[in-house]
Amino acid sequence: MEEACLGLLDYKTEKFALTRNRKVGLLHRLIQLGILAYILGWVLLARKGYQEKDTDPHVSVITKLKGVSVVRIQELGDRLWDVADYVKPPQGENVFFLVTNFIATLNQVQGLCPEHPSIPDGNCRNDSDCSAGQPVVHGNGIKTGKCVHFNNSHSTCEIYAWCPVENKILPRKPRLAEAENFTLFIKNTVNFSRFNFSRANTLKTTDDSYFKGCQYNALDSPYCPIFRIHNMVEAAGTSFQELALRGGAIGMRIDWDCNLDQAPSACQPRYSFNLLDKEFNFRTASYYQDPPYQPSRSLLKLYGIRFDISVHGQAGKFSIIPTAVNLGTGAAFLGAATVVCDLVLLYLDTKAEFYRSEKYEEAKPPKDKKVNAAT
């Protein structure tokens, strides 16, 4: 017990032993080269570990669609659609909906009419199948208790609803097929507050005609913020005609990767598109008073393309603190190479016992000469 306690007071000092083991020596150099390649090549150069980073920029996105189309509606004839009609909502936000197709149900009034036969809960054989006061599941109104004929071909429950009930016939071709030639203006600004640096995706020019004639191209016009809808849909991996018929959703991502050690002009946005969904629609109605002052409405089931625009970015600038931290980490990794090679040499090598005896030696102080003389 006494020897164990005294052992805590022993002091160990390093002893360097030169070994001619070429295998372990080669392993040592390979590990060192690997660590140097990782620190210098990956951490410092590829990942720019010598820079301070700002990965949370303040962003602003403003959108505007341009284009007109003439649509023929059977009950109304030709109707002109402009940006106020086919963009929902109209405020120019980073999420908006472009109408490409629709089903119109005109001149609806509140009253009694048969449910549409496409609604399973609305079909019936007799009055007992239509419980009065019960809403039609996934239907258009409240059952009155009567089973009536729908266009003399089907029997459905009579309901209290907006009549006639919604039309279900989807056009075979998109009504707003010209929408593929519409253009989308996107103004995006990022601000990296840590470095007091701002950048916009628009070209700074005094020529007002530039934005009226340019169109985005990564090579020729990287600072033109105007995109053709057809090109955006194709970049997402689908065709406009297919997506415009039943609607869908497209995600647009704007990436900013700014190296502030270079000129500001080198900080440019990168755009990417991906298909999020292949079907999207919703309903809207316009209300009016029809003589004799009866509330009326026109119902539109709108199909189209929903655009979701997201902005991501980071900026980096040289700083001594991350440089010192990464170099210090690299130096620590180099020390680990020696630890690994010592383990191989002292425990895994065929001559491990010999190397251990040479590396570890117990140093004993010489005996006191006076004590020896007295003896």
Q: Indicate if 198 and 243 belong to the same structural domain.
A: yes
Least confident segment among 60-64, 86-90, 236-240, 352-356: 352-356
Among 184, 166, 216, smallest CA distance to 98 is for 184
pLDDT at 374 exceeding the cut of 90: no
Q: Indicate if 243 and 275 belong to the same structural domain.
A: yes
Q: Indicate if 260 and 361 belong to the same structural domain.
A: no
Output the six-digit token pair for 196.
């007091």
Q: What is the pLDDT of residue 15?
A: 66
Q: Residue 300: inside a domain, yes or no? A: no
Q: Indicate if 340 and 369 belong to the same structural domain.
A: yes
Q: Which domain holds residue 232?
A: 54-103+186-281+308-316
* Helix/strand number for the chain, H first, E second: 9, 15
Q: Indicate if 229 and 272 belong to the same structural domain.
A: yes
Q: Residue 144: inside a domain, yes or no? A: no
| Residue 290 to residue 284: CA distance in whole angstroms | 19
Instruction: Count the domains in the chain.
Output: 2
- Residue 134 is classified by DSSP as P
Least confident segment among 201-210, 227-236, 248-257: 201-210
Q: What is the pLDDT of residue 370?
A: 55
Output the six-digit token pair for 179.
């929408």
Q: What is the mean pLDDT of residues 150-170?
A: 91
Of the chain, the percentage scoring pLDDT greater than 70 comes to: 91
